[in-house]
Structures are given as structure tokens and as C-alpha cells.
Amino acid sequence: MVGEAGWGSGLVPLSPKVNEDIMLLHIIARGRIGRGPEAELVERYMKRVTWAQKISELPDTGGRMPAAAENSRTILLDEGGDQLSSLEFAKLLEKWRDGGVREARFCLGAADGFTPEEREGADRVIAFGRATWPHLMARAMLAEQLWRATSIIANHPYHREGRQ
């Protein structure tokens, strides 16, 4: 999977535990993460996710958006988006997966965010709180939430909301 044609994407290989019948979780991010603590966090959490996954990196400006699979959903991460609890996020992914959605595309925009047209074309716009987060932190937070959501769906004990 590494080395898709074009501007030199930074694709992460699929986990060896991939189930082909599971919805693809595709992170599409502006900017390169490089090496550092944020990249390590993304890698740590995405290694735990057993669903099919891919990470595509685009330049800060320009570049070709990867082609969407048939029956995909696009989610923009933006400070002005809906704030979902981890359980709500998991239920959304589960609903899409069970409804036959083949790919969930999580888009992290450039420094200036998304255009009104991009917002209009998205299936959902979500936020990790009202604060503005650096792109590298947002990517790490998304990776953790994807792990958390898939673990909730699998009834894994990682998520402890409501437990005493």
C-alpha cells in the first residue's frame, strides 16, 4: 500500500489483523507528520485498531484528494463541528459499518481549515472540543478516538465511561 502514485503520499500499511469486510477507516491529512511524539502516538493507536485503515498525507496546499470508495462517508475535523462523546462517535461508526458503508474518510484540513464548499459536501463535521488544536495533535487525538470507538464496538474494556 505504500507509495500510491501522485505527489508521494505517506500511506500507512494496513494492519496484519485486517478483516476485509470491515469499513475502511481512512485518515486524510494536510501536512506531513514526520517523526516525533505525535507520530508515535498515531502509530501506537492505529496499530491497535483491527479494522482496515489507511493514512494519506496531502501537501498543505494542492495535491490530489484520494478517490473515495463507493458508498463512503466524509467527516471533516473542524473546531466548529459537532462535539460527539466517544460513545456517540462509536455508535455512528457502527451504524455506518452495519449499513454497508465501505469507507469513512476523516479529513484534517490545512491551517486555514475548510472552505464552505468542503463543509457543505461533508457528511459530518466534528470537533474535539471548541479549542483549536495543532494538526499533529488532532491527528493523534483522532487515532485514539478511532481505537476507542472500535474497542467500544467490540465490547473491549478499554473505554470506561460510566463505570465506577
Superfamily classification of domain 24-153:
SPOUT methyltransferase, trefoil knot domain (3.40.1280.10)
pLDDT the model gives residue 9 = 38
Q: Is the pTM of this model over 0.85?
A: no
pLDDT the model gives residue 1 = 34
pLDDT one-digit tens code per residue, 48-83: 999 999 999 999 888 888 998 889 999 999 988 999
Listed as ranges, residues in the chain with pLDDT below 70 are 1-21, 158-164
C-alpha radius of gyration, the chain, whole number: 15
DSSP of the chain, one letter per residue? ----TTTT--PPPPPTT--TTSPEEEEEEES---SSHHHHHHHHHHHH--S-EEEEEE-SS--PPPPPPTTEEEEEEEEEEEE--HHHHHHHHHHHHHTT--EEEEEE-BTTB--HHHHHH-SEEEESSSS---HHHHHHHHHHHHHHHHHHHTT-TT--TT--
Domain regions of the chain by residue span: 24-153
